[in-house]
Amino acid sequence: MAHSQKLHTELLQSICNWNNHTQVINYLESFNPNVKLSIKIDFENSYNKHPSETSNLHRRDSRPRNFLLPRSNETDEYSRENLIVNEPHTNDYVHLTSSSPARQLSTLFDHSLRTHHSEQMSSSDRRSYLVSNINEISQVLPNIHQFDHNKQQLLRYIDTNIIGKDVIIQTLWGPRKAIYADYTASGRGLTFLEQYILTYVLPFYANTHSENNAFALQTTRFRESARAIIKQCVNATDDDVVIFTGAGSTAAINKTVDILQLQNDEIRNHTVVFVSTLEHHSNILPWQETGVEFIRIPNNKTGLLDQNILKNKLIYYRDQVKKSIICTFNAASNVTGIQADVNRISELVHEYGGRIFWDYAAAAPYVRIDMNPTKKAAKDAVFISTHKFVGGPSTSGLLIAKKAIFNNRVPGDCGGGTVNFVTRRAIEYVKDIETREEGGTPNIVGAIRAGLVFQLKQSVGEDLIKARDNELVQRFFQRFQNNPTLIILGPQDVSRH
């Protein structure tokens, strides 16, 4: 036996408490040998096995366990103890069963490690694997898929789970049941979603920047699975990234401004930004404050973006002024609810060499978001406020964008997790865009919750949401269109939500 292999064998045997020397050698050979990976996989397999196959994290005997791994020669009875995590200050136990969502996500990543056991998987490889297996990992909302064949029952289930639905408040006229009518600003929490997080996420919570403990790995899997779910829901490809941001679409837009380096005089002086007349401040101020040339495209007689004027401006700035063109429009107005023709406008902007960004702050919970409907109509970036979804409070904002727009050497948010190598005089940042643009400890639970609300939206279905929206809009018009104290902005025959 080679000297190095002997050292590897002794190291693995000491860490895993295995007594069978031959079994250790055979196990190592399957990894060619890679002792660090074999230890990692054996630990994760032990942690994630079916309860009938794994040992207890809180051992019922006093035998020492390095890395909490079982001995290979333990009896069947001992090796079949349930995996139980005992919560402090309570007599309850959380079981990581084979049917739990936590187990589903863990198993997938373990499978990917076994499939790629010849080398460590990079973060980008891990994400690619999760995206490719989205149909398996997306089944994470308990009690939701029982309603796949009865959407109306699903809507009732969601409605009855809204937190605060039946709250009574004191008014000038006595106690009254509160009616919440501010979903354009923020959605409301859902009992079953919060219970899911309380049961399956928080008991295993740890920092995703840690890589040396089981809880950190589990939390990372949850967060990356949420990212993969969102990518699948918006038809993202390998050319797109999903970046979790802070304060909704506002943070996503500010990050985009930083990424485009518009504070740089040379870049700013060769760039023009087009907006519509219906943008909210978050899609105006970050651009204006850079000092970049800023053009508003007016509406036509129907109250929609005038595409003829937009076309003329695109031609002029491409051929005459010769500036890089950025168009950033709202997908739906947060004042009128009128929806833009996002695909047609995207095609028009790309036809004349511009980049098209869409602010889905007000639209995302209600409309289909398609990053790549066609090559010409593909979106260069979208900004999303997931806190506006039902179930969305405390979620992270989202920047979903083409990798091609990330030409910045320094991340928009420098901090922990963004550096690959550093000395006192030099810094090398991580090349993976999603990692390098999420500096510092993120809103981990908010990111996981964002994946869950996207999964819920997909479970309901955009077609059903659109039909319900149209029904409510028509009921409103029928009830209030003749009210002399109300003025309806925009035409009544266009798509609204």
Domain of 427, CATH number, reads 3.40.640.10
- Alpha-carbon distances of 140 from 56, 108, 135, 275, rounded to whole Å: 25, 13, 10, 39
Measured CA to CA in angstroms, residue 383 lies from 281, 340, 341, 342, 361 at distances of: 14, 15, 17, 14, 7
> What is the number of structural domains in the chain?
3
Indicate the pTM of the whole model: 0.73
Q: Assess if residue 40 is contained within a domain.
A: yes
Return all residues near 96 (Cβ < 8 A) that are at least 6 apart: 48, 51, 83, 85, 102, 103, 106
In this predicted structure, the answer to whether residue 212 has a pLDDT above a threshold of 70 is yes
Q: Classify residue 135: in a domain, yes or no.
A: no
The whole-number pLDDT of residue 57 equals 30
Same domain? 447 vs 313: yes
pLDDT tens-place string over residues 376-413: 999 999 999 999 999 999 999 999 999 999 998 888 87
Range of the domain at 386: 231-464
> Residue 196 falls within a domain, yes or no?
yes
State whether 357 and 449 are in the same domain: yes
Phi and psi angles of residue 273, each rounded to the nearest 5 degrees, phi first: -115, 125
- Of the two residues 85 and 472, the one the predictor is more confident about is 472
pLDDT at 446 over 50: yes
Answer whether residue 192 shows pLDDT above 80.
yes
Q: Is it the case that residue 68 has pLDDT exceeding 50? A: no
pLDDT at 440: 87
Give the least confident one: 162-171, 211-220, 308-317, 347-356: 211-220
Instruction: Tell me, yes or no, whether 292 and 412 share the same domain.
Output: yes
Q: Is residue 480 part of a domain?
A: no
Distance CA 385, CA 362 (A): 8
Distance CA 459, CA 457 (A): 5
Where b means 16+ CB within 10 Å and e means fewer, 346-365 reads bbbbbebebbbbbbbbbbbb
Region 170-181: mean pLDDT is: 93
Whether residue 164 is found in the same domain as residue 273: no
Sole residue written with tokens 């899609």: 283
Residue 70 phi, psi (nearest 5): -80, 155
Query: Based on the domain organization, do 87 and 174 belong to the same domain?
Result: no
pLDDT at 264 > cutoff 50: yes
63 and 192 fall within a common domain: no
> 196 and 236 in one domain?
no
Closest C-alpha among 274, 275, 374, 358 to residue 315? 274
Q: Are 164 and 179 in contact (CB under 8 A)?
A: no
Q: Assess whether pLDDT exceeds 70 at residue 62.
A: no
Same domain? For 406 and 357 the reply is yes
Q: What average pLDDT does range 354-373 have in this prediction?
A: 97
Tokens 């006595």 -> residue: 174
Residues 196 and 257 in one domain: no
How far, in Å, CA of 8 to CA of 294, rounded? 63
Q: Does residue 268 share a domain with residue 157? A: no
Residue 476 forms part of a structural domain: no
Together in a domain, 259 and 345: yes
- DSSP structure class, residue 273: E
Mean pLDDT check: name the lowest of 143-147, 316-320, 492-496.
143-147
Only one residue has tokens 């519509």, namely 276
Cβ neighbours of residue 110 closer than 8 Å, sequence gap 6 or more? 41, 44, 45, 48
What digits encode the pLDDT tens for the residues 1-36?
Answer: 455 556 666 766 665 566 676 766 665 555 443 434
Residues 288, 437: one domain? yes
Task: Note the pLDDT tens digit of each residue in 134-146.
Answer: 444 444 444 555 5
pLDDT score, position 377 = 98
Q: Is residue 481 part of a domain?
A: no
Least confident of 61-75, 269-283, 443-457: 61-75
**Span of 62-71, 73-82, 482-491 with lowest mean pLDDT:** 62-71
Report if residue 278 sits inside a domain: yes
Region of poorest pLDDT, from 121-125, 238-242, 319-323, 416-420? 121-125
In a domain, 189, yes or no: yes
